[in-house]
Amino acid sequence: MLFQPINRNYHDFTIVRDKDLCINCKVCVRQCSYEAHYWDETRQKVMADNAKCVGCHRCEALCPTSAILIQKKHSDFKDNALWRPEFIKYIYKQADTGGVLLTGMGSPVNIPIYWDKLLLDASQVTNPSIDPLREPMELKTFLGCKPDKLEFSKTKDGSPKLKTKLAPQIELNYPIMFSAMSFGSINFNLHIAMARAATELGICYNTGEGGLHKSLYKYGKNTIVQVASGRFGVHRDFLNAGVGIEIKVGQGAKPGIGGHLPGVKINEMVSQTRMIPLGSDAISPAPHHDIYSIEDLHQLIFALKEASEYRVPVSVKIAAVHNVAAIASGIVRAGADIVAIDGIRGGTGAAPGMIRDNVGIPIELALASVDQRLRDEGIRNRASIVAAGGTRCSADVVKAIALGADACYIATSALIAVGCTLCAKCYTGKCPWGIATNDARLAKRQNPEVAAQKMVNLVRAWGHEIEEMLGGMGLNSIESLRGNRDKLRAVGMTDTEMDILGVKHAGR
Amino acid sequence: MAKTFTLDASGIYYRQLNEQIREAVANGATKIVLNNVNGQRYIADALVGDLEFEINGVPGQDMCSFMRGPRVRVKANAQDGVGNTMDDGLVVIEGLAGDVVGYAMRGGKIFIKGDVGYRVGIHMKAYMEKLPTIIIGGKAGDFLGEYMAGGILLLLGMFSDKPTEPIAGRSLGTGMHGGVIYVRGEVPAEQIGPGLTAQPVDEADKAVIEELVKEYAKELGLNAKEILAADFVKIKPFSHRPYGNLYVPA
């Protein structure tokens, strides 16, 4: 080819094929949904088009002779601290198409990760540590509004009886839930897997904003149903199907931007669940146009409470943005029982890259400031806080809880558990791992049984680790860690950062 | 034979009022008459089945939200959020209504005699046999039918308290990717959302309009012939994927 767009030369990956090992079995050709591998009739062998490789490593993982290696392509751009290769490539793409840059998953850019700069405490000599393998350890978590005070009356035999009427709670065996990923953005096999895993673990998964397929209503005791501005699949049965209702106002990966499931991903089953026509775009804009104020939010919260006859707590999910503490305070005052905060590193099935990488704030700072603000205002008991966005391991969960979270939402971790390699091309609908795709040929790569087991394994493993860390600190209940920032120390932070996080520097 | 439950709503907070209504329904009431209603919210929210409501007084926000089936008549004006995410049933408002009537409505009908506020009929969606329909006898505020994905909006502009206003506010139908908006008479081009135009109705449209107007006129005691004695225009989406070309292709 004499001429090709400059774009083609500056792709991200190179497919290295070991000629001695390759047996031309074409597994890679069948596995690659981006058609980076192909069978060359003339040469009678498997060839590759590097420009099409997205770096998902599916071929590498499934090659029976381990003949394939996916490597980063080292383009020879001249070193430039300002014009880094990603910016040069963005411009080439946009100059070719005039389009908005779309991407998937959480932001990969180098925004400070405070989890890595926070260290946990452990007991030595005094207040001895606890061995969770042999002593009771409580991870049980209740999400919902807690009373300001408890009142008791005496029964005839003189024993006390609780007089205060408690608000509805979501009961979790671990302080972890599977975060909202709509049916449509990920396929049905993974929704079954999440529902089963949540049921087996005694936690909850969130439906996301794409409704709930009829066959999943039976997992209702472990389901939080989500209502977003597009109200896809939202009706009274849906609202009453789970143990909680979440109003999605914002998402960490795209604060201020709505959801937009392209028509090509709306297949028969997605169409049924969302109750919209086949192939039609599902547009869910950032604003709920019936919410322009805290009073309006109050109105929707109570419309949902009326519709569910006050049986379940109502959560409001927002993206972590500059004034998150004041916003969260308003949300609690509007009557929300749970505030879910999604940080800048939260995942997505599709978001404009500029938004994902530049809008919002890290969850650690948002969480700490919201918890502090609600305490200062004396309303922390009125709502639980759920932290989301880039929880990578059990230590992140422990740190989040010490910063004030009641529980963490995980989504990217759950997808990695079933094979996601963070190639970030979810928005194409061609996920070679069978996750962010509704193509039946690809979706069947996820077996719901196997996927559920992997999610269960992950949360159980984290649960053990959380117990170990708690025990090490001399705590026997997750409740004793909530907002207990004395169990955290900072390394390499500024005074301002430590002030916001409410932690001392290591050594103090 | 309808079992009637009559309630004087004066001085009752919405939560207790709605509890009493739900209790009456659970006890077999099929007709509910509410007197002296004065801004109580969420009346008939998420109620299901063959029920009839007569509301005397002005009901509050989010009346008939998530409702599936009941027929509700308001003998006065209504506030914002009537029929929010409504599934099925009929709402007849003998006065005017506020903002966001029929938000994300999926089925059933809402007939309003007078004017409506902003963002009415936004996110309306049709699915299978469900075809949400809103008829507005007066004029509408800005963003009528925004993001509309299905169903029918019929705007008459006849029984309005706003003689100097255009029949519809700015950005009519903006972002619509399904459904149809019919307007009696004409609608100024500058009021219509980008990419959309008002077109003449064809015979099939006329048949739909005629049937709807007859039903509407009957419910509100109006003269169908008079309503139909004018030309109608329609506004339809230019694509069911209005933003399909916005992004760098994968």
**Res B81 pLDDT > 80:** yes
Quick one: DSSP state of residue A486?
G
Closest partner CB to A307 (pick from B15, B46, B147): B46
What CATH class has A141-146+160-505? alpha beta
Interface of A with B (CB under 8 A): 93-94, 96-97, 99-102, 229-231, 234-236, 239, 260, 262-263, 271, 275-277, 279-281, 283, 285, 289-290, 299-300, 302-303, 306-309, 352, 425, 427-428, 430
- Assigned token pair, B39: 């801004």
**Interacting residues of A427 by C-beta distance below 8 A, sequence separation 6+:** A102, A103, A104, A262, A349, A350, A436, B247, B250
**How many Cβ pairs within 8 Å bridge chains A and B?**
131
Quick one: DSSP state of residue B48?
B
Quick one: DSSP state of residue A309?
T
Residues B163 and B230 in one domain: yes
Residues B85 and B110 in one domain: no
Among A433, A429, A451, smallest CA distance to A185 is for: A429
Contacts of A276 in chain B (CB under 8 A): 125, 127, 149-150
pTM: 0.95
**Res A341 pLDDT > 80:** yes
What average pLDDT score do residues A294-311 get?
97
* Cβ–Cβ below 8 Å for A97 and B249: yes
Given a contact cutoff of 8 angstroms between Cβ atoms, the answer to whether A431 and A93 are in contact is: no
Owner of token pair 């969480």: A367
Give chain B's mean pLDDT.
Answer: 95
Residues B58 and B127 in one domain: no
Owner of token pair 């009022």: B17
Q: How far is CA B87 from CA A58, A212, A221, B6, in A?
A: 44, 16, 24, 25
* Cβ–Cβ below 8 Å for B247 and A234: no
**Res A465 pLDDT > 50:** yes
Closest partner CB to A101 (pick from B242, B244, B248): B248
What CATH class has A6-99? alpha beta
Handedness of CA A270, A276, A282, A287 (dihedral sign): negative
Residues B91 and B118 in one domain: no
Residues B115 and B228 in one domain: yes
Residues B42 and B145 in one domain: no
Given a contact cutoff of 8 angstroms between Cβ atoms, the answer to whether A401 and A481 are in contact is: yes
d(CA B63, CA B92): 12
Query: Which pLDDT tens digit goes with each residue over B38-55?
Result: 999 999 999 999 999 999
Residue B19: other Cβ atoms inside 10 A: 15
d(CA A294, CA A51): 49
d(CA A247, CA A304): 9
DSSP H or E run through A300: helix A294-307
Question: How large a percentage of chain A has pLDDT more than 90?
Answer: 87
Owner of token pair 């299905």: B150
**Res A260 pLDDT > 80:** no
pLDDT at A2: 55
d(CA A106, CA B169): 40
What average pLDDT score do residues A105-128 get?
94
What average pLDDT score do residues A174-178 get?
98
Into how many domains does chain B fold? 2
pLDDT at A262: 75
d(CA B192, CA B186): 11
**Res A480 pLDDT > 50:** yes
**Interacting residues of B24 by C-beta distance below 8 A, sequence separation 6+:** B5, B7, B32
d(CA B8, CA B10): 6
The interaxial angle of helices A394-402 and A363-376, nearest 10 deg, is 30
Q: Where is the domain boundary, B95, B117, B143?
A: B95
Residues B221 and B121 in one domain: yes
- DSSP class per residue in A186-218: B-HHHHHHHHHHHHHHT--EE-GGG---GGGGG
Residues B72 and B133 in one domain: no
- Assigned token pair, B73: 């008549």
* Cβ–Cβ below 8 Å for A260 and B46: no
**Res A16 pLDDT > 50:** yes
Full residue range of the structural domain in which residue B52 is found: 1-95
Domain positions in chain A: 6-99, 141-146+160-505
Residue B153 three-state SS = strand
Chosen from B125, B143, B148, B171 to mutate, greatest number of chain A CBs within 10 A: B125
d(CA B133, CA B140): 15
**Res A1 pLDDT > 80:** no
* Cβ–Cβ below 8 Å for A231 and B244: no
Query: Which pLDDT tens digit goes with each residue over A408-436?
Result: 999 999 999 999 999 999 999 999 999 99
Q: How far is CA B187 from CA A279, B101, B155, B167, in A?
A: 30, 20, 10, 7
Residue A237: closest C-alpha in chain B: B46
Of residues A381 and A267, which shows the higher confidence score?
A: A381
d(CA B240, CA B150): 10
d(CA A64, CA A318): 45
Give the model's confidence band at A196: pLDDT under 50 very low, under 70 low, under 90 confident, else very high.
very high
Question: Residue B190: is it exposed, middle or buried by C-beta count within 10 angstroms (0-12/13-18/19+)?
Answer: exposed
pLDDT at A287: 83
pLDDT at B245: 74
* Cβ–Cβ below 8 Å for A289 and B119: yes
- Assigned token pair, B192: 């219509």
Residues B76 and B135 in one domain: no
Question: Residue A261: is it exposed, middle or buried by C-beta count within 10 angstroms (0-12/13-18/19+)?
Answer: buried
Give chain A's mean pLDDT.
Answer: 94
What average pLDDT score do residues B156-169 get?
96
pLDDT at B1: 66
Query: Which pLDDT tens digit goes with each residue over B182-223?
Result: 999 999 999 999 989 999 999 999 999 999 999 999 999 999
Given a contact cutoff of 8 angstroms between Cβ atoms, the answer to whether B248 and A101 are in contact is: yes
- DSSP class per residue in A42-87: TTTEEEE-GGG--S--HHHHH-TT--EEEEE----PPP-SSS-HHH
What average pLDDT score do residues A482-494 get?
97
Quick one: DSSP state of residue A165?
P
**Res A453 pLDDT > 90:** yes
Phi, psi (rounded to 5 degrees) for A490: -95, 145
pLDDT at A376: 98
Residue A96: closest C-alpha in chain B: B248
Residues B81 and B19 in one domain: yes
Residue B154 three-state SS = strand
Residue A96 three-state SS = helix
Residues B87 and B108 in one domain: no
Q: Where is the domain boundary, B67, B95, B123?
A: B95
Residue A262: closest C-alpha in chain B: B244
pLDDT at B239: 79
Task: Report which residue type is found at B141.
Answer: G
Strand stretches in A44-97, DSSP E: 45-48, 68-72
Phi, psi (rounded to 5 degrees) for A11: -80, 175
Query: Which pLDDT tens digit goes with each residue over B83-130?
Result: 999 999 999 999 999 999 999 999 999 999 999 999 999 999 998 899
ipTM for this prediction: 0.95
CATH code: domain of residue B108: 2.160.20.60
The DSSP bridge pattern shows strands B88-93 and A37-40 to be unpaired
Chosen from B118, B143, B248 to mutate, greatest number of chain A CBs within 10 A: B248
Residue B179: closest C-alpha in chain A: A277
Given a contact cutoff of 8 angstroms between Cβ atoms, the answer to whether A253 and B110 are in contact is: no
d(CA A280, CA B241): 6
What average pLDDT score do residues A275-284 get?
82
- Assigned token pair, A67: 């003949």
Give the model's confidence band at A3: pLDDT under 50 very low, under 70 low, under 90 confident, else very high.
low
**Res A312 pLDDT > 90:** yes
